[in-house]
Structure 1
Amino acid sequence: MNLRLGAEAEAALRAEAQRTGRSQQDILREAIGKYLGLIPGQAGDVDPLIARGKVASPRVPFRDVRPRLRLRSGESSLDLLDRDDRI
């Protein structure tokens, strides 16, 4: 079986595999098993920190975040906080 994922789903799967140390295939098998009711539990049970209530489940699906602001050479984020035009 071959599975073609959209770019966003592929990036999310790759990031989750890297974050958890699990293979992409293992993550997909578990997700499909849960979706089909072959494995009891919900998606939030996969991460033990979510299951124990230590962290909240994501409010939005995975999205690849790219920085929107680039600091000039020699400029720090603190310089941005000390601007006169801030309210």
Structure 2
Amino acid sequence: MSKPFDMELFLDGVLTGSHATRQRHVRQAKIIQAGIAERWHRKTPWSWQRKHLAWFLEQRMSDRLEATRYYYVLTARLLTRRLDKAWLFNL
């Protein structure tokens, strides 16, 4: 039996800022992970491609406020930095 993926541990090396900011990024990263796992059946960020994050930001966040989308893009950038990729996302 495999252990569940620990998003907080995964992001630990790239998270900076206040405790509240760090917690927000972890919470949003878990929401992104759940959305991608539900749609694409990719459970860990190591198996993600750029299209998975782009889909989440474009489709799942399309009906959200601009400010909310902005914070999710920031979280996606942290995930991208942690994966050591050069993916860019539009706001």
TM-score past 0.5 threshold: no
Q: Which has the higher helix share?
A: 2
Report the TM-score, using the length of structure 1 for normalisation: 0.29
| Structure with greater Cα Rg | 1
Structure with the greater relative contact order (CA < 8 A, sep ≥ 6): 1 or 2?
Answer: 2
Report the TM-score, using the length of structure 2 for normalisation: 0.28
